[in-house]
């Protein structure tokens, strides 16, 4: 039975120390960053090493490959994809073409990562951007209206899974009003419950059947003025599991981000005790990984069942890649010229 944690590793291949640690800690999964992505064959080798270390061929390996400024796989080995906001622009001209284009785009992202052995891509971003908010979301958002985001987000889920990768909706229950970057400090949202329900929560509610979701390190004062969603039993139980109705695997956002405070073991304990199924432990040094492993429980019970369900959702389709890129380029031509 794996532990309720996801880790990265130091470089493009495992050290003996890391291999032994992962064997003993047995995390549910792993996440890759740009430093791990030197070449296609190097990534395939690393994915095989990681899975061998935990003895599970289906161990999830995650990546953030959204397109635009959030892309771990970069040229010259991989193609660039437009930021997701481009599809929102196309929606205003032709919603049907926008759905087709974003599904095809997501399919190509799914093929890109799954061909390397990566089986989870942390998209789509379902946050509803606000004009006065920090630009950490910005052009990562699919559109500006909840209904448009929900429709485009559905197409992303379908396309990504057709490409062989599992999606993660983020940042539940909504990061679009944050006035600061949660990588650097803790955002506080003062909007009313009514506004949050009508706008911020709406895309997540529409896509509450997604296999996985990632929390927001954001305080929603209307629900819990003390704790961000990631460590708030109230927000997770009443909002994410309750009002939104999400019953898939719930992972935290990166626990190393400066929005959170306290020791590593406290962050992991607070995350799991609040109701997250899995703690996302990124960019921890080795000693911090050891500390996190001591705090992470086994992934059992309802959380374990959600993890099993999450990994059962892919159904890969096969299209000729060059033809698919040509079709995508043609669909996007009205907003890229």
- Annotated catalytic sites, by residue? 183, 253
Place of tokens 């954001």: 218
| Cα 81 to Cα 271: distance, rounded to the nearest angstrom | 33
Can you tell me the distance from the alpha carbon of 35 to that of 245, in angstroms, rounded to the nearest whole number? 36
CA-CA distance, 13 to 10, in Å (whole number)?
8
The CA-atom distances, in angstroms, between 269 and each of 104, 126, 236 are 40, 27, 15
Quote the CA–CA distance of 15 and 31 in Å, as a whole number. Answer: 16
Per DSSP, 46 falls in state: H
C-alpha–C-alpha distance, residues 164 and 145, integer Å: 29
Q: If we measure between CA atoms, which residue out of 241, 244, 169, 176 comes closest to residue 206?
A: 244
Angstrom distances, CA of residue 201 to CA of 66, 156, 243: 21, 18, 8
Three-class DSSP category at 3: strand
* Angle at CA of residue 48, ends 44 and 49, nearest 5°: 115
């Amino acid at each position: 039975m794996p532990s309720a944690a996801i880790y990265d590793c130091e470089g493009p291949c495992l050290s003996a120390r890391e291999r032994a640690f992962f064997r003993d800690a047995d995390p549910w999964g792993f996440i890759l960053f740009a430093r791990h992505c030197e070449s296609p064959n190097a990534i395939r080798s690393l994915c095989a090493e990681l899975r061998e270390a935990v003895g599970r061929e289906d161990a999830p390996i995650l990546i953030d490959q959204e397109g635009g400024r959030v892309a771990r796989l970069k040229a010259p080995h991989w193609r660039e994809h437009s930021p997701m906001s481009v599809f929102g622009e196309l929606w205003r001209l032709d919603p049907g073409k926008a759905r087709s284009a974003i599904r095809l785009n997501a399919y190509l992202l799914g093929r890109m990562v799954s061909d390397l052995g990566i089986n989870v891509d942390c998209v789509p971003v379902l946050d509803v951007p606000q004009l006065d908010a920090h630009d950490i979301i910005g052009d990562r958002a699919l559109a500006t209206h909840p209904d448009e985001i929900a429709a485009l987000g559905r197409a992303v889920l379908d396309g990504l899974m057709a490409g062989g990768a599992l999606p993660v909706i983020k940042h539940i229950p909504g990061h679009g009003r944050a006035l600061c970057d949660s990588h650097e400090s803790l955002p506080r949202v003062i909007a009313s419950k009514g506004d949050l329900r009508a706008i911020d929560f709406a895309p997540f509610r529409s896509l509450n059947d997604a296999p996985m979701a990632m929390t927001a390190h954001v305080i929603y004062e209307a629900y819990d003025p003390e704790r961000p969603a990631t460590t708030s039993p109230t927000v997770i139980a009443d909002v994410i599991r309750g009002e939104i109705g999400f019953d898939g695997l719930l992972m935290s956002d990166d626990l190393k981000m400066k929005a959170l405070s306290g020791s590593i073991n406290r962050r992991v304990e607070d995350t799991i005790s609040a109701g997250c199924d899995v703690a996302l432990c990124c960019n921890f040094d080795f000693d911090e990984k050891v500390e996190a492993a001591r705090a992470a429980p086994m992934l059992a019970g309802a959380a374990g069942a959600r993890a099993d369900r999450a990994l059962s959702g892919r159904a890969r389709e096969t299209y000729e890649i060059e033809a698919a890129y040509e079709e995508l380029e043609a669909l996007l031509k009205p907003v890229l010229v």
